[in-house]
Structure 1
Amino acid sequence: MQTQFISVFAAANIQHVAGAPHAGRAAFEVLSEQDFDRAVGEITSWQGYAATPLVSLAGLADQIGVGRIDYKHEGPRFGLGSFKALGGAYAAMRVLQRELTARLGHEVSLSDIRDGRYSAECAQITLVSATDGNHGRSLAWGCQRVGAPCRIYIHAEVSEGRAEAMRALGADVVRISGDYDASVDLAKSEAAANGWFVVSDTSWPGYSEPPRDVMAGYGVMTREACDAMAKPPTHVFLQGGVGGLAASVAAALRQYYGADAPRVIIVEPELAACLYESAQSGTATTVAIAEETIMAGLSCGEPSEMAWQILHEEAADFLTIPDSIVAPTVRLLARRYTGDPLVEAGESAVAGLAALIAARQSPDLSQALGLDGASRVLLIGSEGVTDPDIFAAIMAEAEAEHV
């Protein structure tokens, strides 16, 4: 990488607060091994299932001075472009399974729902959620597969391209004027008023089963990554958001590797840092979002209570990053600046990678995070190009790195 390019990361303002990781049972009890096993068994049986690639970024690792970087690229997942395909669709089936079992008075299996045996009954059950784009696309896809109506709430800053992708999957998309948290509130209130069922990736008091299923679905991704690595990573950088992705991966890594599980580092936009603030206060903390980040999937002000239970025990570090290093990281992967395989990634996918590059430009931050030339880093590339217009704009930007 050229000096001008690296200077973008060296100048970035990265905020760091240490977590308080401690031995606990959240990684086994909030999300059990049985939760993950059931999700893996179901999802890997779906038509079109294939493990997504674990891309070795050896050139970049050499450039920034770490031993290894493995990037789990979720762009190809079920043709939906993101890891969310694993969560929303699976949680939708679990909601339908519980509701149909209650209505019909006998156990209904996921395979019966998948095979269309209850398509008429599914057509009478409306599933709803709020989304920044990817979770809603997964839910719409899952509903379309089994014939259930789907209603998705999006906030003002969700791109029209992402809205159209959900409509193309049969969803009724409702745009509001507020932010993501306002769309969550509206989804909850309208569902309660109409007898619909919320399939959310965030939990709140009295609402936990669908978010648990969403996080269990994400475990497919983590298990694929673990099975593909010869040695456990020493570090994993995980995007924040409401915390569901990070908590799922952290729990699955703890269950898989035990005491050899990697150091968990949470990365958030400085404009939406609810987990960072939670780490500072020691309890799940909501923040107001005054300005939207380019990382649309991470623009969340209220953490999931369930996810925080896991992260409070498992996460060693919390970082915030500025938007200024996001587009350069997208271009780094897409233009193969370090000679590594081409990866076309969305804005939210590269948060962990951007933070890693920036951290290695600071000896003090590298020391604080325990990063050195022997570090083996796992990154979750959570989305591919889920909005072609935004990706095209990033690639066309006048680049400060002059390459």
Structure 2
Amino acid sequence: MLDFKPSPQKPLLFFQQCSAYQASLTTRIHTSSGTEVLVKHEGNRMGLGSFKGLGGIYAVAQLISDQWEVIHGSPLEPSELLSSPVREMAQSISFVCASAGNHGLAVAAGARLLGASSTVYLSQAVPDNFEKALLAQGAFVIRSGNTYEESMAAAMADANSTGAILLADSSWPGYEYPPSLIMEGYTVIAEELKKEFERDVNWPSHVYLQAGVGGFAGAITYMIRHNWPVQPIIYIVEPEFAPCLKASHEAGKPVNVAGPISTMGRLDCKEPSIIAFNILQISQVNYITVSDKDADDATHKLHKNGLSTTPSGAAGFAALLKTETLHTAQANQAFKPMIFVTENANTCIE
């Protein structure tokens, strides 16, 4: 089993070569009760509308770098990844994935940036506007099946038959390295925050991390527990219809859950990433679920604060609002919560 030990400096060095990269904004809002909330807003990340841009683009770059090393016997420097010789080599490399939104867009953007090709499988349920966004990134789009799971099966079959590199954003036994690169890309977010908090001396007391399969939550939790000198309480936030990480924690092993479809579409995942599960299981985190109504209400409240997002993007704020009274009542502890707005309201649906 892969031992996840990411280095945020590796993706940071790569992204510093990319004109689209800049640290995402940290803003402050107040709840109706007056609590000040730190907000890390990922809606403009890499021009793709969500935090996923960091993971997919970096994973594509690192997998191409790996291929270069196999062929030439020496690793690439980050400054060489966007060079003409690398782009020429990458023309023979194809990536394939399934998506209902942001992950596929990141993979397609990464492939286009480095000169490779990409194929993204979509279920029939994915809106046409997302297909158009993928085509604009140069991806080859194939509709397959009525659910994400069916499109994922088609992507896996494609990789097996064509030799394309499967780049999924979840992990399972025997498939861990590519998704670990995606998670390593996400560590940039926590590193940006660490530098900011060290400068401003304004560390949060509580951090709320929304989770689907857990890649984002696992990567940020790892960085907090290993790299932040001031340790907050961490909440892992899931839809009440899809608490796969909470259920896995309680079972002591990765388990699947069943439930209705949640309006938090990007978080509506019934099976956890095993990498994320392993990280969270030893990281002293709390699990909390939020209802679709909780997330919808939080979305509207963020909008009133000038932050336009989706129920998935607002899930962390929904969890904060559920726990706010408890923490503000603890007079012996300052409550300085932090949330993540993980996507814009007009982002493609994952």
TM, length-normalised to structure 2: 0.91
The answer for the alignment partner of 1:6 in structure 2 is none
- Give the counterpart letter for 1:43 in structure 2: F
3-state DSSP of counterpart to 2:84: coil
Distance in 2 (CA, whole Å) between partners of 1:371 and 1:179 is 48
| Number of corresponding residues | 345
Distance in 2 (CA, whole Å) between partners of 1:115 and 1:347 is 40
The answer for the alignment partner of 2:39 in structure 1 is 71
- 1:385 matches 2:349: no
- Give the counterpart letter for 2:69 in structure 1: T
Are the structure 2 counterparts of residues 100 and 44 from structure 1 closer, same or farther at C-alpha, using a change threshold of 3 Å? same
Distance in 2 (CA, whole Å) between partners of 1:47 and 1:92 is 17
Residue of 295, 309, 312 corresponding to 1:345: 309
The answer for the alignment partner of 1:394 in structure 2 is none
Please list the CA deviations of residues 164-203 of structure 1 after superposition, one character each: whole Å capped at 9, or x if unmatched: 2112111112233343333333322220111010122211
The answer for the alignment partner of 2:209 in structure 1 is 238
TM, length-normalised to structure 1: 0.79
Please list the CA deviations of residues 198-233 of structure 1 after superposition, one character each: whole Å capped at 9, or x if unmatched: 122211222222211111111111111222232321
Distance in 2 (CA, whole Å) between partners of 1:235 and 1:113 is 38
Q: How far did residue 250 of structure 1 move?
A: 0.5
Please list the CA deviations of residues 311-363 of structure 1 after superposition, one character each: whole Å capped at 9, or x if unmatched: 11114211111111222222212223xxxxx21223311101011112335x4
Conservation of the 8 A alpha-carbon contact between 1:71 and 1:381: yes
Please list the CA deviations of residues 357-402 of structure 1 after superposition, one character each: whole Å capped at 9, or x if unmatched: 12335x4xx59x97987211111111113448x9xxxxxxxxxxxx
Distance in 2 (CA, whole Å) between partners of 1:201 and 1:193 is 20
The answer for the alignment partner of 1:23 in structure 2 is none
- 1:37 matches 2:2: no
- Give the counterpart letter for 1:64 in structure 2: S
3-state DSSP of counterpart to 1:358: helix
Q: How far did residue 271 of structure 1 move?
A: 1.9
Distance in 1 (CA, whole Å) between partners of 2:324 and 2:288 is 13
Residue of 225, 233, 241 corresponding to 1:263: 233
Residue of 271, 284, 288 corresponding to 2:254: 284
Residue of 286, 289, 303 corresponding to 1:320: 289
3-state DSSP of counterpart to 1:226: helix
Q: List aligned pairs for 1:45-84, cutoff 5 A.
A: 45-57=17-29, 59-60=30-31, 63-64=32-33, 66=35, 68-84=36-52
Residue of 256, 269, 290 corresponding to 1:300: 269
Distance in 2 (CA, whole Å) between partners of 1:64 and 1:376 is 13
Conservation of the 8 A alpha-carbon contact between 1:91 and 1:214: yes
Conservation of the 8 A alpha-carbon contact between 1:222 and 1:249: yes
The answer for the alignment partner of 1:357 in structure 2 is 321
Percent identical pairs in the alignment equals 30
Relative CO higher for 1 or 2, CA cutoff 8 Å, sep ≥ 6? 1
- Give the counterpart letter for 1:275 in structure 2: L
The answer for the alignment partner of 2:187 in structure 1 is 219
Q: List aligned pairs for 1:137-176, cutoff 5 A.
A: 137-176=105-144
Conservation of the 8 A alpha-carbon contact between 1:93 and 1:110: no
- Give the counterpart letter for 1:344 in structure 2: S
Conservation of the 8 A alpha-carbon contact between 2:50 and 2:347: no
Are the structure 2 counterparts of residues 271 and 179 from structure 1 closer, same or farther at C-alpha, using a change threshold of 3 Å? farther
Conservation of the 8 A alpha-carbon contact between 1:265 and 1:315: no
3-state DSSP of counterpart to 1:128: strand
Are the structure 2 counterparts of residues 221 and 375 from structure 1 closer, same or farther at C-alpha, using a change threshold of 3 Å? same
Conservation of the 8 A alpha-carbon contact between 2:102 and 2:347: no
3-state DSSP of counterpart to 2:85: coil
- Give the counterpart letter for 1:286 in structure 2: N
Please list the CA deviations of residues 130-180 of structure 1 after superposition, one character each: whole Å capped at 9, or x if unmatched: 223111111111111122110112334433322321121111122333433
Q: CA RMSD in A?
A: 2.4
Please list the CA deviations of residues 7-28 of structure 1 after superposition, one character each: whole Å capped at 9, or x if unmatched: xxxxxxxxxxxxxxxxxxx9xx
The answer for the alignment partner of 1:3 in structure 2 is none
- 1:334 matches 2:294: no
Distance in 2 (CA, whole Å) between partners of 1:131 and 1:78 is 18
Moved over 4 A (4+): 369-373
Please list the CA deviations of residues 10-49 of structure 1 after superposition, one character each: whole Å capped at 9, or x if unmatched: xxxxxxxxxxxxxxxx9xx5123xx222112211331122
Q: Which moved more, 1:35-44 or 1:246-255?
A: 35-44
